[in-house]
Copies of this chain bind each other. A is one copy, B any other.
Amino acid sequence: MGPRELWDRYRRHLCVCESIGLSLDVSRMNFSDGFLERMAGPMSRAFDAMEELEKGSIANPDEKRMVGHYWLRAPERAPDPAITHTIRETLAAIHRFGDEVHGGGVRPQKAERFRNLLVIGIGGSALGPQFVADALGGPADPMRSFFFDNSDPDGMDRVLARIGTDLGQTLTIVTSKSGGTKETRNGMLEAAHAYAQRGLDFARHAVAVTGEDSELDRHARDGKWVRRLPMWDWVGGRTSELAAVGLLPARLQGFDIDAVLAGARDTDAVTRAREIARNPAALLALMWYHAGGGRGAKDMVILPYKDRLTLFSKYLQQLVMESLGKEKDLDGRTVNQGIAVYGNKGSTDQHAYVQQLREGVNNFFVTFIEVLKDRDGRPLPVETDVTSGDFLIGFLLGTRRALFEKDRESMTITVPDVSPRTIGTLIALYERAVGYYASLVNINAYHQPGVEAGKKAAGAVIELQGKLLARMRAEKGRSHTAEELAAAIGAADEVENVFKVLEHLAVNSPEIRRSGADTYFDARFEAGDTLNFPEKGTGLKGEK
């Protein structure tokens, strides 16, 4: 296709949405002329399904739940006045609480003002808040944000070291929809311990965002925490950024959450429309379908040319992969669906892997995100009449062309800026595109049946550890191999995990010692006295 034909194709297929300041260019996807027509039927069924979902149907049949994240930005659309009411009440409570914290009405135990925010959560309770904090944050914000998003003790130590003596000015938000997420529970306990070490009462610095009457909710209520805000079973974790999960930290950091909600609401209006050519969410879903043949055969590479959007691909990894990565379709057939998502930012990633994208295995399609506004304030020329921002756009256009020359497909989303409104727009755009795509491939986008197995297996490992400790303590001072211990606790089949758990304990527990043997797997383990046991390390030179 020559440049003039491409210009025609560009103009024909550019989806310009003036009301939300967004456009989507699909001209560099190699779909044929008949594709959109051919998909009109399936897409019409996807619109129908979405309409039912928005009306409050049980769109998540496995869990028998409604799917209500679209109501969060248009509470009047909720199917039940009680839902409308609780959304509005919660938003008002967030605003009120934000004002109280910023104004000093809600204050820490031993300081005048809360200056920091420690958000403890994982998955849907962290990825959205992290994305938004990085996209909209700056050093002038009223509160600095920190995150515990894992069960890594050293990772938490490092965050606490960064907060340092400011812990007394730090408000901790513990977020868990189920209220029973182990990583989050562990983070909460580690944080509580750190407050206590400074002579501070954790409860007077803690807020819970969780389902009503969950384990966490009861803990917070009984402990008289500063505040509790609700999560609802009709909002999934990965679509909870516009619920209290995301809005509370955003409001506390001083972001205009009403603008975020307005961006999402306006985008919902645009992406609800049934005219495919003017609906960027429908077009996105159809392009994913085209690229991967409806089987996820191509990875989705997300390349925003803007530092502030670097975490968007991480956010989308969850939204897209957890929603679409499913074994069964809605009819119970094994389909092993999904689309892998990766990417960081341009032009940086050009220097990392555009070599492979252009020349290597053609197993992907790129989504460029172009941000029109370069910076606040006046531009600085780096050559005559050329700015850093001109180069940034030049690299985007250059890479788009270089990929196209080699038959690599790409789309380009253009947004005016990285503002609260735009963040709302991007979130809403992808939420709906995921919903449409799920309909096209006939899967439930709103459950996650595959995550339980790993958690359950992890629980079994923790249980195994308890039995091993009990056994070794019962024979204090006597050493055993992993094989012997596994047999002794009646878990001969679990010898591999027994061995792994013992190796880990030997490095970290003040109580467990390992002594070598002739062969690696015959190492011996024993329980000893914990008192006055030296702090452990690996003894390696250069250890930090």
Cβ of A345 within 8 Å of any chain B Cβ, yes or no, is yes
Given that A4-B493, A162-B139, A375-B153 are known contacts, is A416 also in contact with B540, CB under 8 Å in the complex?
yes
Q: Which of B255, B258, B388 contacts A151 (CB 8 A)?
A: B388
Cβ of A386 within 8 Å of any chain B Cβ, yes or no, is yes
Cβ of A418 within 8 Å of any chain B Cβ, yes or no, is yes
Cβ of A98 within 8 Å of any chain B Cβ, yes or no, is no
Given that A352-B127, A508-B387 are known contacts, is A398 also in contact with B190, CB under 8 Å in the complex?
no
Cβ of A233 within 8 Å of any chain B Cβ, yes or no, is no
Q: Which of B4, B11, B455 contacts A398 (CB 8 A)?
A: B455
Contact check, A352 vs B318: say whether CB atoms are below 8 A apart.
Answer: yes
Contact check, A362 vs B348: say whether CB atoms are below 8 A apart.
Answer: no
Assembly CA distance A321 to B540 (angstroms): 32
Contact check, B421 vs A123: say whether CB atoms are below 8 A apart.
Answer: no
Contact check, B259 vs A541: say whether CB atoms are below 8 A apart.
Answer: yes
Interface centre among A155, A190, A306, A394 (most CB of B within 10 A): A394
Residues in chain B near residue A259, CB distance under 8 A: 541-542
A residues 224-262 touching B (CB-CB < 8 Å): 237, 255-256, 258-260, 262
Given that A419-B542, A540-B419, A542-B256 are known contacts, is A504 also in contact with B337, CB under 8 Å in the complex?
no
Given that A345-B150, A462-B391 are known contacts, is A497 also in contact with B397, CB under 8 Å in the complex?
yes
Cβ of A374 within 8 Å of any chain B Cβ, yes or no, is yes
Contact check, A193 vs B380: say whether CB atoms are below 8 A apart.
Answer: yes
Residues in chain B near residue A113, CB distance under 8 A: none
Contact check, B340 vs A307: say whether CB atoms are below 8 A apart.
Answer: no
Cβ of A105 within 8 Å of any chain B Cβ, yes or no, is no
Contact check, B379 vs A510: say whether CB atoms are below 8 A apart.
Answer: yes
Contact check, B540 vs A150: say whether CB atoms are below 8 A apart.
Answer: no
22 intermolecular pairs with C-beta atoms under 8 Å apart: A10-B496, A123-B350, A140-B161, A150-B347, A153-B379, A154-B374, A157-B375, A183-B347, A256-B542, A296-B361, A299-B363, A318-B351, A322-B356, A354-B450, A355-B451, A356-B450, A358-B454, A360-B450, A373-B507, A374-B507, A390-B501, A390-B508
Contact check, A153 vs B380: say whether CB atoms are below 8 A apart.
Answer: yes
A residues 415-429 touching B (CB-CB < 8 Å): 416-422
Cβ of A509 within 8 Å of any chain B Cβ, yes or no, is yes
Residues in chain B near residue A48, CB distance under 8 A: none
Assembly CA distance A382 to B359 (angstroms): 50
Residues in chain B near residue A360, CB distance under 8 A: 296, 321, 324-327, 336-338, 450
Nearest-CB residue, chain B, relative to A164: B139
Assembly CA distance A529 to B454 (angstroms): 64
Interface centre among A259, A390, A417, A461 (most CB of B within 10 A): A390
Residues in chain B near residue A521, CB distance under 8 A: 11
Assembly CA distance A459 to B465 (angstroms): 60
Nearest-CB residue, chain B, relative to A340: B299
A residues 80-133 touching B (CB-CB < 8 Å): 122-124, 126-127
Residues in chain B near residue A336, CB distance under 8 A: 359-362
Assembly CA distance A405 to B307 (angstroms): 39
Residues in chain B near residue A357, CB distance under 8 A: 325
Q: Which of B21, B193, B520 contacts A16 (CB 8 A)?
A: B520
Cβ of A222 within 8 Å of any chain B Cβ, yes or no, is no
Nearest-CB residue, chain B, relative to A152: B307
Contact check, A451 vs B338: say whether CB atoms are below 8 A apart.
Answer: no
Contact check, B541 vs A421: say whether CB atoms are below 8 A apart.
Answer: yes
Cβ of A393 within 8 Å of any chain B Cβ, yes or no, is yes
A residues 491-544 touching B (CB-CB < 8 Å): 492-497, 500-501, 503-505, 507-510, 520-521, 535-538, 540-544
Q: What does the 1/0 interface line of A1-30 toward B look like (CB < 8 Å)?
A: 011101100110010100001000000000
Contact check, B359 vs A461: say whether CB atoms are below 8 A apart.
Answer: no
Nearest-CB residue, chain B, relative to A135: B544
Q: Which of B297, B326, B402 contacts A359 (CB 8 A)?
A: B326
Contact check, A152 vs B417: say whether CB atoms are below 8 A apart.
Answer: no
Contact check, B258 vs A417: say whether CB atoms are below 8 A apart.
Answer: no
Which 10 residue pairs spanning A and B have beta carbons closest together? A325-B356, A259-B542, A123-B351, A338-B360, A325-B360, A155-B307, A398-B458, A398-B457, A342-B342, A321-B353
